[in-house]
Amino acid sequence: MALTGLVTELALVVIPMVLVTALVLVGPRQLSRAFSDFRWRLAAISVPLVILTLVLFVRVSTRDFLRELSQRVVGTHFTSSIVALEATVFETNPVVVVQSVQSEPLTSYFAFVYVYGYVFLLVFPLVAYFALSKMDELQTLIVAYTTNYAIGLALYTVFIAYGPRNHDPQRFEAILYDAFPQFGYLTHEVNEPTNVFPSLHTSLSMTVLFLAWQTRFIYPLWVPISAVISLSVVVSTMYLGIHWFSDVVVGTLLAAVCVSLGRAYVRRNVDDTLRGFLRRNVEQVRSSTDR
């Protein structure tokens, strides 16, 4: 239906973008070498991948439970507090300021960046870091993605907030879904309308940007490219009426935290510790079944 069509379209747009960028930034020789000896690379990132899968699994299997837990037990309705906080800091709400420069080309640009640019931004570094001779960067990236998502979900459970598009329509506009209602099918499938504080679009984009800076000597061109896209994504969340300025600020902080967590994971050899832990447990299970 509408959803399958959209996902196909998304793939048809993003895959060529990733391929072309990879050919230019990474180079065909390095790419083909990386994909021909992919085994050790996959083995090197297996632990972060397992954790990511685990988080995604927990998320999918507890969606209803988390919603109930949030609504009935731990959640605070937070929208009016965000608006009130921003009203004490700013004369005019930043979303109103951003939306005041509306035009059709801008709307198309931001909608494109919000949906396609964002997916490209998240996928490309996976490919680029996969092609390196060490898997440290890729480990950092996957751990950072995972912690972003996990911490984000925890915050969504505690803070129940709606974005500007769901507040007073006289002040804030729902630009994305007014202009491109079909994108609603995508977000409807993967998200709740109350998953607003913080902005995961912002935190994941800023994570990519921060890591792009860390790898500037390997992929110098990736810094300006990711900077343009990630900052556009950040602005688009407000322009399109999805997120408040506060969501963006906290999203950026979350990105910084998650990048340090990802770096600590590599620097402190958490990977080896976890492997050792898993191995011991597996051996224990094995020996107990032998007996």
**Footprint of other proteins on this chain (CB under 8 A)?**
2, 71, 77, 79-81, 83-85, 88-91, 162, 165-171, 174, 177-178, 180-182, 184-185, 187-188, 192-194
> Cβ closer to other proteins: 32 or 80?
80
| Angle at 46 (CA atoms; ends 64, 153), nearest 5 degrees | 25
Secondary structure class of 131 (helix, strand, coil): coil
CB of 126 to other proteins, least distance (A): 28
| Angle at 88 (CA atoms; ends 87, 90), nearest 5 degrees | 60
- CA separation (Å) from 256 to 95, 170, 211? 23, 35, 10
> Cβ closer to other proteins: 59 or 184?
184
> Cβ closer to other proteins: 186 or 274?
186
> Cβ closer to other proteins: 110 or 129?
110
How far apart (Å, rounded) are the C-alpha atoms in residues 235 and 95?
A: 9
Do residues 182 and 6 make contact, with C-beta atoms less than 8 angstroms apart? Answer: yes
> Cβ closer to other proteins: 28 or 193?
193
H helices of 26-117, in order, are 28-36, 38-44, 46-61, 63-68, 79-89, 94-99, 104-112
CB of 113 to other proteins, least distance (A): 20
CB of 214 to other proteins, least distance (A): 24
How far apart (Å, rounded) are the C-alpha atoms in residues 182 and 29?
A: 40
CB of 177 to other proteins, least distance (A): 5
CB of 98 to other proteins, least distance (A): 16
CB of 233 to other proteins, least distance (A): 21
Read off the tokens for 99.
Answer: 């939306």
Q: What is the 3-state secondary structure (H, E, C) of 136-189?
A: HHHHHHHHHHHHHHHHHHHHHHHEECCCHHHCCCCCCCCHHHHHCCCHHHHHHH
Read off the tokens for 214.
Answer: 């860390």
Please, what sign has the CA dihedral across residues 184, 189, 194, 200?
A: negative
> Cβ closer to other proteins: 110 or 162?
162
CB of 64 to other proteins, least distance (A): 9
> Cβ closer to other proteins: 84 or 101?
84
